Amino acid sequence: MTIFEVIRNDHNLVKKILGEMLSIKDTDQDKQTELLEKLTMELTLHNRAEEQIFYKFLQENAETRDLIEHSKEEHEEVEELFESIKNYNPGDKNWMKQLLEIQKNLLHHIETEETESFDKAKEIMKAGQHHTLADEFQKAKKEWSAKL
């Protein structure tokens, strides 16, 4: 697997969980809470590994440094939205409003990353590096999982 495939798989999982959350009836608050916890954990592991491995690699290149700073800011914005949604109960209209805002921000981030960031990364990567980074990314996720 390449780093691009590993990250894209994480993105697809996040989109799947979001889709489940948006399709659940407001009355199933337990399921919404369970999925929110799952989404929060998946994103936390993904973001930590991504910043530690993929972004660090891109940060070392002047051509991609600004792009990565923007991506880190987007991670922070989403983390703030996750903190904010905790102030509401599933079923509350403000909870759904926050969830839709999270979805909007995540989908924007994913689209930007899978196009601009991936394209730039492919330009600067050396042969075999996309596999090495994938291995490091998966290892970092496991390490973060053990810490959280």
pLDDT tens digit sequence for 25-71: 767 889 999 999 999 999 999 999 999 999 999 999 888 888 888 88
Has residue 3 got a pLDDT over 90?
A: yes
pLDDT on residue 67: 85
Q: What is the pLDDT of residue 18?
A: 94
Q: How far is CA 56 from the centre of its chain?
A: 16
State the average pLDDT for the chain: 92
Write out the two tokens for 99: 């969830």
Asked if residues 5 and 134 have their Cβ atoms less than 8 Å apart, the reply is yes
- CA pair distance 133, 2, nearest whole angstrom: 7
Q: Which of 148, 125, 147, 141 is nearest to 58 (CA)?
A: 125
CA distances from 46 to 50, 75, 82, 98, 138 (A): 6, 10, 15, 21, 9
Q: Tell me the pTM.
A: 0.92
Two tokens, residue 38: 């799952």
Taking the CA atoms of the chain, what radius of gyration do you get in angstroms?
16
Looking at residue 64, its pLDDT comes to: 87
Neighbours of 135 (CB within 10 A): 13
Separation between Cα atoms, residue 72 and residue 70, nearest integer Å: 5
Collapsed DSSP state (helix, strand, coil) of residue 90 = coil
- What average pLDDT does this structure show over 86-101? 90
What's the pLDDT band for 129 if we cut at 50, 70, 90? very high
The band of 80, judged by pLDDT with boundaries at 50, 70 and 90, is very high
Residue ranges in 50-61 assigned as alpha helix (H):
56-59
Residue 63: per-residue pLDDT: 84
Q: What pLDDT was estimated at residue 19? A: 93
- Identify whether the C-beta of residue 37 lies closer than 8 Å to the C-beta of residue 62: no
148: confidence class by pLDDT, cuts 50, 70, 90: confident
